[in-house]
Amino acid sequence: MDDLNGLIGPDFSPEYNLTRYLQSIRKFPILEQDEEYQLAVLYQKTHDQNIAYKLITSHLRLVVKVVSKYRGYGLPISEMIAEGNVGLLYAIEKFEPEKGFRFSTYALWWIKASVQKYILNSWSLVKLGTTAAQKKLFFNLRKIKNKLNLSDDREMSQDVLKHIAKSLDVSVQDVTDMNMRLQSHDGSLNTLLGDSSENGAEWMDFISDTKPNQEESFAHSETMKYRRKLFHEALSVLNSREKDIL
């Protein structure tokens, strides 16, 4: 893992120069499934950094695409991309190509996990709340509002608040409070990059559609597997009576 960190140097660091970074990663080709599989198998056997470099750079746009879904949390886009890249590095170390999933499908889960961990760590627990329901509300409120065509600055009616509260299993007050906390915005990925960008390009122009097959089902499967692991670990420390109560 430490060796892989050196593969993405300053030229490909979003903190170094975000505009340049987004322009640079466009030159890396998206791998065909067969080539991706062969490279993944070779890396699993050899841990050759040149192979790792090909796998990583071909998925840098996937990281940006994932991060685009978490804009508006008051955090720098460049830092979220950097954290997503860390997740990509973890993915290449743990990927098992013989299981039949695309690397992009597997990497997606690690990228999301790294970005979400960074966001949660950046928001104080006092602001967020520590329950699973509060965290679910934090990451899903914007998504639901988008489906309802509600802008962030638009006041929500009581009916809408109740609908969201019911769907996320939280109180109306929880929804109101969280909505207020999410009012601060970072730069949107649909804003212009600035004078230095080519022809006034928008950030989303640098992201190709790399949506992997089965990504949602795999991410859900990995999350449930992790939750089951934690549950069984918790059960192992309970006595028989406590298990019966559960």
H or E element that contains 37: helix 33-46
Residue 24: what pLDDT? 85
Strand partners, 192: 202
Q: Does 207 fall in a domain?
A: yes
Residue 10: what pLDDT? 43
Q: Does 231 fall in a domain?
A: no
Q: Does 241 fall in a domain?
A: no
Q: Does 232 fall in a domain?
A: no
- Candidates 129, 231, 243, 219; CA nearest to 175 is 129
CA distance 4 to 185: 33
3-state DSSP: the chain helix, strand, coil percent, rounded to 5? 65, 0, 30
Residue 101: what pLDDT? 87
Q: Does 84 fall in a domain?
A: yes
The boundaries of the domain holding residue 139 are 2-184+201-213
Residue 142: what pLDDT? 79
Q: Does 226 fall in a domain?
A: no
Residue 20: what pLDDT? 82
Residue type, 183: Q
- How many domains does the chain divide into? 1
Q: Does 86 fall in a domain?
A: yes
- In this prediction, the residues of the chain whose per-residue pLDDT falls under 70 are 1-16, 124-131, 152-153, 183-246
Residue 195: what pLDDT? 41
DSSP 25: G
Q: Does 245 fall in a domain?
A: no
